[in-house]
Chains A and B, each alone.
Chain A
Amino acid sequence: MANIIFSTNQKHPVGKRRCTFCTNQIDHIDYKDLKTLRLFIDGFKRIKARYYSGVCLRHQKALSNAIKLSREMALVPFVTMYRK
């Protein structure tokens, strides 16, 4: 997958927001794709709310599932400052 186009969308009004997965035409969000998942994870490693990322509901649900899978396989941490 090529690099996706990403914008935080928050400055735009609700009607003009565009989901990043819709614009890049990504149907299946892969739990191994850490580069894209990282864009939707907080500094505290929490999943960003739809309000901030502008992702549509359908993709937000798929995204949260993908992040939870990658957490389970220790690709993404649950919390910060676990070690180090």
Chain B
Amino acid sequence: MTKATALENKAQSNVGLYELMIILNPELRESEVTKKLGEFEEMIAKSGGKVTSKDYWGKRALAYRIKRKDDGLYMVYNAEMPASFLKEIKEALRIDKEVVRSLVIRLPEGHVYTKFDLTYVKEEPRKKDFFVKKSSGSMANTSVKHSGPSVMAKPEKSEDKGKEANAVDLDKKLDAMLGGNDLKL
């Protein structure tokens, strides 16, 4: 086929590559899903389009609630469709009660459908002792890093001093305090 004829064909049919994404009601049964999707495929075929690739994702959690639904059945089509047919299928998708949401976009020429890794990564909830653990760890690190006298070491020294002073010094101090005339009991 020469270039000129190819261009002519394109102008006549006005066909482009489109991607259809449909989110269906998650409460549908399998048979109902296949029936519903069959209807759309028939519509595309009737209009003179051609489905180039299908990808059924199955049930998937929505990022936010739509029409009181937390999940959706995802289906992705890549199809060559005439431009005049777009209005028709968009209207059909809008009216349909089982379709939660839909999307029709134009793809660049020669686009090949690629499957992506769609595993849902949940952010782990913070543990209760998350902050406590981190703070204790940082304290230990600081005590090692400091070249000067650390904060942790000080109370130990004072305790040692107290033990030594217990026998003699404390008695003297107490006597001084009790014997003095400052305390007016």
- A residues near B, CB below 8 A? 1, 27-28, 30, 32-35, 69, 71-78, 82-83
Q: Given contacts A69-B105, A73-B103, is CB(A34)–CB(B62) below 8 Å?
A: no
Given contacts A72-B103, A76-B63, A78-B64, contact A32 B118 (CB under 8 A): yes
- On whether the beta carbons of A74 and B116 are closer than 8 Å, the reply is no
Q: Which residues of A contact B26 (CB under 8 A)?
A: none
CA distance A75 to B57 in the complex (A): 12
Nearest B residue to A27, CB-CB: B108
Closest-by-CB residue of A relative to B121 is A38
A69 to B107, alpha carbons, bound, how many Å?
13
B interface, how many residues as a size bin? 20 to 34
Give the chain A neighbours of B65 by CB distance below 8 A: 82-83
Which of A1, A28, A35, A74 is the one whose CB lies under 8 Å from B62? A74
Q: Which residues of A contact B72 (CB under 8 A)?
A: 74
Give complex CA distance A35, B117 in Å. 8
Flag whether B114 is at the interface (Cβ < 8 A). yes
Using Cβ atoms and an 8 Å threshold, which residues of chain A touch B105?
Answer: 69
Contact with A along B130-173 (1 / 0, CB 8 A): 00000000000000000000000000000000000000000000
The CA of A69 and the CA of B102, in the complex, are separated in Å by: 11
State in angstroms the CA–CA spacing of A69 and B106 once bound together.
12
